[in-house]
Amino acid sequence: MNAFVDPAGMAGHSGMTKGEVLLRVDNVSLAFGGVKAITNISFDIVKGEVRAIIGPNGAGKTSMLNVINGFYHPQEGTITWRGKVRRKMKPYEAASNGIARTFQNVALFKGMTTLDNIMTGRGLKMHKNFLWQCLHWGPALREENEHRRKVEEIIDFLEIQAIRKTPVGRLPYGLQKRVELARALAMEPELLLLDEPMAGMNLEEKEDMSRFILDVNQQFGTTIALIEHDMGVVMDLSDRVVVLDYGRKIADGPPEEVQSNQDVIDAYLGVPHEN
């Protein structure tokens, strides 16, 4: 049985209501030496929506995601997070400010069990110090039990009870992706970034994953930004889509509008040579 999880309890961070701008990037440019990964891009992510970022290979999607979660700091432009302009952050600051992500290539601790992997997602929320945790008794144990409960709710939510004690390295790829999502959810993020959540999955796994993404969005009220190559999935899941090509934004809008945009079609299918 899935316990009903109170959305307010899970995602209540900033107290923003649905429809407010949660994150805005303005005229952002990012370059690695001479390589311009992102050039002058602006768009916003609204609280409660599913926002897709698409584009051909090398368009700068993953760089964009890294800019959003604070891993890269852009050379130009501003990022406004929860209404405040964000400055350059240290990694641990970035991790604790309410943005969680999954990776294009699964980045789990292969030798650890599913449960332990997800528990690492709670690490930042543990407040008892190292010595207390070594003692594993009294307040520290109580705290861990509380976190374990949250983790169990997520396990239940993603229906991965059967692999709770299985080392992640032994799991099939589709399930590893799910565990990664679980770990991201364990941070109770306000904004969840998914880098190609469906890559390498079969049809059934894709359907499951789509279902979970929608449920996360609906039940926890989590805002989601995702990169995905499967256009069917993008069109079905997302509320708005932003399209990048060679580091530039070429379209932004609802899926059906983007789908019929000539620039987007050209970017994906290529343009025939004039002569």
Partner 1 sequence: MAGSPVVERLDEDTFPKILLRNARVFADRPSMREKDLGIWQAWTWSQVLEEIRTFAIGLQDIGFTQGDKIAIVGANRPRLYWSMVAVQSLGGVPVPLYSDSVAEEMAFVLEHAEVRFACVEDQEQVDKLLSMSESLPHLEQVIYDDPRGLVDYDHSRLHSFEGLQVAGRKALEGDPARAEAWLEGIAAAKGADIAVMLYTSGTTGRPKGVMLSFDNLVISARNGNKFDNLNETEETLAYLPMAWIGDHVFSLAQAYCAGYCVNCPENLETVLSDRREIAPTYFFAPPRVFEGLLTHIMVRMEDAGRIKKKMFDFFMGVARRVGEQILNGEDVGFGDRLLYRLGDLFVYGPLKNQMGFTRLKVGYTAGEAIGPEIFRFYRSLGLNLKQLYGQTEASVYITMQPDGEIYGDTVGMPAPDVELRIAENGEVHYRSPGVFVGYYKNDEATRSTKTEDGWVLTGDAGFIADNGHLKIIDRAKDVGKLSDGSLFAPKYIENKLKFFPNVKEVVAFGDGRDFCGVFVNIDLTAVGSWAERNNVNYASYQELAAHPHVYEMIRSHVDQVNRDLASEPMMAGGQIKRFLVLHKELDADDGELTRTQKVRRSFIAERYQPLIEALYDGSTSKHVRTEVTFEDGRKGGIEATVAIHDMELYPAQSGGMKEAAE
Which strands sit side by side in the sheet containing 76-81, from one edge to the other? 35-46, 21-32, 76-81, 84-85
Closer residue to partner 1 (CB): 66 or 217 = 217
Choose, by CB under 8 A, the member of 153, 205, 230, 239 that binds partner 1. Answer: 153
Interaction of residue 161 with partner 1, rule CB under 8 A? yes
CB neighbour list of residue 25: distance below 8 Å, 6 or more residues apart: 41, 42, 43, 44, 67, 68, 77, 78, 79, 80
Q: Give the number of C-alpha atoms closer than 13 A to the C-alpha of residue 238, restricted to the C-beta side.
A: 31
Minimum gap (Å) between residue 3 Cβ and partner 1: 7
Residue type, 96: S
Which DSSP letter does residue 34 get? T
Q: Distance (Å, rounded) from C-alpha 202 to C-alpha 273?
A: 36
Choose, by CB under 8 A, the member of 144, 152, 205, 230 that binds partner 1. Answer: 152
Structure tokens at 19: 């429809």
Piece in contact with partner 1 (CB under 8 A), picked from 12-20, 105-113, 159-167, 235-243: 159-167
Closer residue to partner 1 (CB): 22 or 175 = 175
Closer residue to partner 1 (CB): 213 or 258 = 213
Interaction of residue 219 with partner 1, rule CB under 8 A? yes
Piece in contact with partner 1 (CB under 8 A), picked from 36-44, 74-82, 90-98, 213-221: 213-221
Q: Distance (Å, rounded) from C-alpha 144 to C-alpha 149?
A: 9
Binding interface with partner 1 (CB under 8 A):
1-4, 148-149, 152-153, 155-157, 159, 161-162, 164-165, 211, 215, 218-219
